[in-house]
Amino acid sequence: MTDAQESMPPPSPPAGWYAEPGTGHRRYWSGSSWGQYAPPEVPVDPNEGRTVMIVGYSMAGASLILPILGLAGLILGIITATKPGRGGHGAAIICLSIILAVASWIFWLSVFLQTS
């Protein structure tokens, strides 16, 4: 090894987000100095949107009896789809609301037309 190689400092880590030594906070390392702190991570509540999801499924099912409730299910499905981790349920509520409401409208129209 030469004297030049022995006196060279070890290479610094590449630029990126790292835990700042001593604090544990995430901070941006530019490659030569520390920069801004990362915004705090907000924990996601696993129950957020659960009530809306349950009521949405209920409205979708109730649209079989009263087709106008399919509209409520559709709106609640859209709201559910915007919640983290509930997009699949939102899509299911939307589809069920549309399908069951259309089936209900067909049924009730056929009943109404047969009685008149």
Domain ranges of the chain: 3-37, 50-115
Look up the pTM and report it.
0.57
- Sign for the CA dihedral angle at 93, 95, 97, 99 comes to negative
Tens digits of pLDDT across the chain (116 residues): 565 566 777 777 788 878 777 777 788 878 877 778 877 776 767 777 888 899 999 999 999 999 999 999 999 999 988 887 788 899 999 999 999 999 999 999 999 899 87
φ, ψ (nearest 5 deg) of residue 5: -70, -35
**What's the CA gap between 42 and 48, in Å, rounded?**
13
Tokens matching residue 63: 């649209």
Instruction: Return the closest-CA partner of residue 75 out of 93, 99, 48.
Output: 93
**What's the CA gap between 115 and 52, in Å, rounded?**
38
